Structure 1
């Protein structure tokens, strides 16, 4: 039985074998690690490919990993295993037998070819919760005609409907900036895994948890489903407007853009007063949301006559706290914003090989009694191989032999 390190957090006591790489899988297991789970990241001998992806600190003499890997692999331990060898596969099977959760994002069929299919693993670990995230899901939940297609964030955004309603005009679909085609599926997989763990604690039996990246993106874009079903209209890119609410979007400021969102007529009346136009608050052409949607360009022109001659800070002074409002922030402005400091959302961590500490995003889910935290930096490749194997029951001689045979690093 593998010894489990002491940890704090709501998920302390759970062990996760993390066979994921890139973004979707690691982001899911990072959330589990942030909240106290012991996440063992099993990497190939060359490591997760994102170790090679920057940015790197200029003085980094090791280049074991850069910002990408650091950001989504904090709080984890790393063991490097050659799963092309029988010894490596047997070792991973041993780790999984002592775990509560295994997460992987290989293409469908890879784990089966390794002899590590869910059906095989549950024979010796019936409590195992097996989580997977793939572009088009696992055939167990529904055999997609695209099941063998590789997928990344941009593919999920495109096929899940997100790009189809995003862009400056109806003819120009556009990619969302962050990798939401990865991170949203990761969040949904995390919810699924924890749901299965809750059930397992009642029944003693684990289960298979499957999330398709495209499905998760479609679920996030739920509005396009009911719009098409109810009206027969196929939504297209809407720029910085909302098709059903007005005003609800972005407006030019003197030094950038601000967001204003008035989803109710009462908020519109408050906004009209705040911008010095109480008359339009009750004007029949603007008084109801339906009227404002019908006169959307007039509403936008009216608001931008106010916002375009003022800075974001000036607008914040006039609108902040009165109506739903926020400036469009750059990363530099986020770094200077006291909100993110007091909420611990910019966390300093060590960067191996560099004399400077670096910042990564903090833990957004705040629990009062068992808070999550960034407790330690991301691991170097194979940093914890010996520690993990010794705790699992391997002797020092066993580890030396496995290393000499090239099964571990």
Structure 2
């Protein structure tokens, strides 16, 4: 039983941001029903595949962020399918969608309509530019993707080498960070409902989320009246805090406080640097000359030698690729790689585990991603039973009921 095993979530999302949000809820134990449009989520067919794309039900993209969910295929343009959806809404706790603003309203399935069916419903949307209900702007209705959000939100301007172009962060943080914030909003709304009985609308925009993500750039602009820009792997106010090329790769060193700096200078056998640059301000003012000293020292050592020399005294680590991550004992001890079935392939695949650890209700990926429409019968039969039960309860003569006072 997970911490959220009392919640049913109707997941109308697709691609990355929405599915990642509901994946977090599923890992925490929520019963997540993925309601897919005809043909299914757009990313079901995205690679990679283990072997044969024709035989396998979906690729790694879909598997990773839809694990542990149920699937039902519904066409909101069909009257019967809309009715089935509304029957599910009546018993749901949360609805999550990531359509453009106004899409659900086209089918008369917007928040106001669903709230009439279920006043305690928490309705959550993830959009590129938020929803008019929480702040109307002229950008709403425009399509958005991770690249758009990173560009507008300032992430790309401060990412990359100083003499290079603006660069997007590798993972889709415009999607993933927005999804995580949306999940937090949903859980806050669940807590509010537990106290008041009130449902509400939760709205998280990708542009807004990226602006929050670049909080350092925001305060730098406000304090200095100058727009910060790219500095490679260095930090604008701390040194050393950087990546250095070694004999066989790259390693990072974060020795910006006085104790770590002294330990780094000792490991380098350079007491003169410790004496000449004793304060953080000294080191920051002379960062270019010091960077050359550190770069020369790192270049003569392998990653293993550099990290082995500093480990335990100075924060340092190799820059790892995924092959190295898969070999890291820490990763396995923390259950951060999880095997799941790949339908259509005679093999399991591994996906990223959950970093949220809890002692009493540990989150975990709860099985593979669903086949399209795999759970239709189970879900609709449940809805029919619940509707019948509700109707029977409504027909009971209140004068015949036994009360606590009796």
Q: TM-score, normalised by structure 1?
A: 0.92
Q: Any conservation in 2 of the 1:60–1:354 contact (CA below 8 Å)? A: no
Please give the secondary structure, in 1, of the residue aligned with 2:130.
coil
Report matched runs for 1:330-349 at 5 Å.
Answer: 330-349=321-340
Are 1:245 and 2:234 an aligned pair? Answer: no
Q: Choose the corresponding residue for 1:351, options 335, 342, 348.
A: 342
Are 1:300 and 2:291 an aligned pair? Answer: yes
Report matched runs for 1:136-215 at 5 Å.
Answer: 136-169=129-162, 172-215=165-208
Report matched runs for 1:386-397 at 5 Å.
Answer: 386-393=377-384
1:104 corresponds to: 97
Distance in 2 (alpha carbons) for counterparts of 1:27 and 1:341 = 22
Gaps of 5+ in 2: 387-406
Are 1:313 and 2:304 an aligned pair? Answer: yes
2:361 corresponds to: 370
- Measure how far apart 1:263 and its partner are: 3.2
Residue by residue over 1:333-383, the C-alpha shift from the partner in whole angstroms, topping out at 9 and shown as x without a partner, is: 000010101000011110000001101000110011110011210001011
Cα RMSD of the aligned pairs, angstroms, is 1.3
Residue by residue over 1:104-138, the C-alpha shift from the partner in whole angstroms, topping out at 9 and shown as x without a partner, is: 00000011111111111111211111111100100
- Measure how far apart 1:282 and its partner are: 2.5
Please give the secondary structure, in 1, of the residue aligned with 2:233.
coil
Q: Any conservation in 2 of the 1:60–1:352 contact (CA below 8 Å)? A: no
Report matched runs for 1:54-73 at 5 Å.
Answer: 54-59=47-52, 62-73=55-66
Distance in 2 (alpha carbons) for counterparts of 1:96 and 1:149 = 27
Q: Choose the corresponding residue for 1:77, options 49, 53, 70.
A: 70
Give the 3 Å change call, closer, same or farther, for CA 300–178 of structure 1 in structure 2: same
Are 1:257 and 2:250 an aligned pair? Answer: yes
Distance in 1 (alpha carbons) for counterparts of 2:334 and 2:254 = 24
Q: Any conservation in 2 of the 1:61–1:354 contact (CA below 8 Å)? A: no
Q: Choose the corresponding residue for 2:212, options 209, 212, 219.
A: 219
Q: Any conservation in 1 of the 2:67–2:365 contact (CA below 8 Å)? A: yes
- Measure how far apart 1:45 and its partner are: 1.9
Q: Any conservation in 2 of the 1:169–1:239 contact (CA below 8 Å)? A: yes
- Measure how far apart 1:90 and its partner are: 1.5
- Measure how far apart 1:274 and its partner are: 1.9
2:26 corresponds to: 33
Please give the secondary structure, in 2, of the residue aligned with 1:176.
coil
- Measure how far apart 1:82 and its partner are: 1.3
Distance in 1 (alpha carbons) for counterparts of 2:311 and 2:164 = 34
Distance in 2 (alpha carbons) for counterparts of 1:92 and 1:249 = 52
Residue by residue over 1:319-345, the C-alpha shift from the partner in whole angstroms, topping out at 9 and shown as x without a partner, is: 112111111100000000101010000
Distance in 1 (alpha carbons) for counterparts of 2:385 and 2:359 = 39
After TM superposition, the structure 1 stretch with the greater mean CA deviation from structure 2, 287-296 or 76-85, is: 287-296
- Measure how far apart 1:249 and its partner are: 1.6
Please give the secondary structure, in 2, of the residue aligned with 1:280.
helix
Please give the secondary structure, in 1, of the residue aligned with 2:113.
helix
Please give the secondary structure, in 2, of the residue aligned with 1:393.
helix
Gaps of 5+ in 1: 1-7, 396-409
Number of aligned residue pairs: 386
Distance in 2 (alpha carbons) for counterparts of 1:136 and 1:91 = 30
Please give the secondary structure, in 2, of the residue aligned with 1:75.
coil
- Measure how far apart 1:60 and its partner are: 5.6
Q: Which has the larger radius of gyration?
A: 2
Q: Any conservation in 2 of the 1:350–1:356 contact (CA below 8 Å)? A: yes
Q: Any conservation in 2 of the 1:349–1:357 contact (CA below 8 Å)? A: yes
Give the 3 Å change call, closer, same or farther, for CA 210–374 of structure 1 in structure 2: same
